[in-house]
């Protein structure tokens, strides 16, 4: 089961990085919680640290929940950056 779960985590990371760009460091922790399982995803990139938690009745669902949250955080931040208008030179 660990091998399949590791493959699923790598798939999630690759899918996010393919669409939103590569990141420096990912850390994923999966543990048993109440009820079910819990996952913590910590993402570091150029000093920015994002942290998301997820839960589910099995470890795969917990990973999916946390990865969805971290992906949404990345999308929100990308939207904020693209909304900032550049200042003209000398302004």
Domains held by the chain: number? 1
Asked if residue 32 belongs to a domain, the reply is yes
Sign (positive or negative) of CA dihedral 17, 47, 87, 89 = negative
Asked if residue 28 belongs to a domain, the reply is yes
d(CA 32, CA 25): 24
Tokens 């760009």 locate to 21
Give pLDDT, residue 77: 86
Q: What is the CATH number of the domain that holds 65?
A: 3.30.160.100
Rounded average pLDDT per 10-residue block, the chain, 91 residues: 91 95 94 92 92 96 97 85 57 58
SS (H, E, C) 46-61: CCEEEEEEEEECCHHH
Asked if residue 60 belongs to a domain, the reply is yes
Asked if residue 90 belongs to a domain, the reply is no
Give the Å distances, CA to CA, from 91 to 49, 84, 88: 31, 15, 6
Domain span at 15: 2-83
């Amino acid at each position: 089961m660990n091998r399949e779960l590791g493959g699923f985590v790598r798939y999630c990371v690759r899918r996010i990085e393919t669409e939103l760009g590569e990141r420096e460091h990912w850390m994923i922790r999966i543990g048993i919680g109440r009820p079910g399982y819990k996952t913590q995803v910590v993402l570091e990139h150029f000093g920015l640290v994002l942290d998301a938690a997820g839960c589910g009745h099995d470890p795969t669902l917990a990973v999916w929940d946390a990865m969805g949250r971290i992906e949404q955080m990345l999308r929100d931040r990308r939207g904020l950056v693209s909304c900032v208008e550049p200042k003209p030179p000398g302004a």
